Every structure is written in C-alpha cells, then in structure tokens.
Amino acid sequence: MNLCHSVLFLLFLFPAVIPAQKTGTAIYVIKKGTVTFHSTARLELIKAVSPQLKGIMDAEKRTFAFSISIKSFDGFNGPLQKEHFNENYMESDKYPNATFTGHIIEEDDFTKDGSYNLRAKGKLVIHGVEQERLLQGDLVVKNGVIKLVCMFTVLLSEHDIKIPRIVHEKLAAEINVTVNAEFAKQ
C-alpha cells in the first residue's frame, strides 16, 4: 500500500473511530513509525522491520488508528523467506494491511509534557482476522511531540496463519512485535 492509499485508509477509518471533531481537538499523526517483528524458533531466528507505520491519534479523546502494509517489511534471512512470508503465511495480496484501532484506557492528559505508562484496548486485525487486544506501552510527551514504544506478542493461530509442518521448527508460533512511533500535532 502506498502513502496515498494509507492516508485514504486512515481518513475513512478515522471518522469511525473518532466522532465529529471540534475546534482545538488535539489530533496527532505519525511522522516516523516502525514496526519490527521477530520469530525465535528452535532452528531459526527471523527478523523484519517496516518504517511505514501510519497512524493518527486524538490525544483529548484518547482514540487512535494505526495501519501497516504487510509487504513493506524487509529484513528476513533472504529474498525467498520474504516471498514465503508474503505469499504463503500472510497472503498479503489478499490481506494487504495490519491495523489496530481503539482507545487509551488511562485518563492522563497526553497534551502535557511527561512520561506515561498506558494501556490501549482495541481491535487488532492481522491476516483478515480481528482480535480484541489490550496492549501496554510507554508514551513520552515533550514539546508537542509524542513518542510511543509498545511491545507485544501475536499468536499466529489467533489470526489463522498456518505453519506448514515442514517449517514448524523454523517459525515460532508466537511472534514478538515492537512498535516505535513519533507523533506530531496535525
């Protein structure tokens, strides 16, 4: 998904997550965002990263929407592994994006400088399968810039991602994910 499609996706999704905007609302968009995942299996370590995380957050209402193109991940242990990732496991032509939309539980004022440990509840969609998730992360707000770090795991079985028996010792059933995002006020 290119930048234009990502922006259109967020523009269509965002009104569903964040009702009618009022003047002065604290809307932040991701200026820099990366998603890294790694699989630590018995026979192989697989790591990939994408610097193409897109997202928007209403700091006042504590709602958000994130999207990442599956095909944007690079790294892996070679081109064939990336091809298998996109074609056989993630089926990225059929399910081109992973998304997370929801709200921040804590009542903190994220428009003020400070460090915040927060929980976000929402819907994580990977491989076309939606799961309700509660994720924990850290926000640092300084001079109008919000930095987010969030680490969590994804169980492949919960998103209907099949691991062929032949590679079950090379691909972990639980994938570790790290999200780093820097937001700036819109």
Question: So where are the chain's domains?
Answer: 3-13+26-185
Higher pLDDT: 26 or 51? It is 51
**pLDDT over 90 at 9, yes or no:** no
Question: Is pLDDT at 115 greater than 50 in this prediction?
Answer: yes
Does residue 15 carry a pLDDT above 80? Answer: no
Residue 8 makes CB contacts below 8 A (sequence gap 6+) with none
At residue 10, the pLDDT reads: 45
- Mean pLDDT over each residue of the chain, to the nearest integer: 88
Report the pLDDT averaged over residues 137-162: 95
The answer, yes or no, to whether residue 3 has pLDDT greater than 70, is: no
Residue, of 155 and 109, whose pLDDT is higher: 155
Cross-strand bridge partners of residue 37: 48, 177
Cα 127 to the chain's mean position, in Å? 13
More confident position, 20 or 42: 42
Confidence at residue 24, expressed as pLDDT on a 0 to 100 scale: 55
3-state helix, strand, coil in the chain (%, to 5): 20, 50, 30
CATH 2.40.128.110 fits 3-13+26-185, yes or no: yes
Q: How far apart are the first and last CA of the chain?
A: 22
Asked if pLDDT for residue 28 goes beyond 90, the answer is: yes
Task: Report d(CA 106, CA 117) in Å as an integer.
Answer: 9
Between 109 and 92, the more confident residue is 92
The pTM assigned to this predicted structure is 0.85
User: Residues 130, 4, 179, CA angle at the centre, nearest 5°?
Assistant: 50
- What pLDDT digit, counting tens, does each position of 56-102 carry? 999 889 999 999 999 999 999 999 999 999 998 999 999 999 999 99
Query: Among 141, 125, 136, which Cα is nearest to 66's?
Result: 125
Contact between 32 and 51 (Cβ < 8 Å): yes
User: What percent of the chain lies above the pLDDT cut of 90?
Assistant: 73
Q: Are 124 and 6 in contact (CB under 8 A)?
A: no
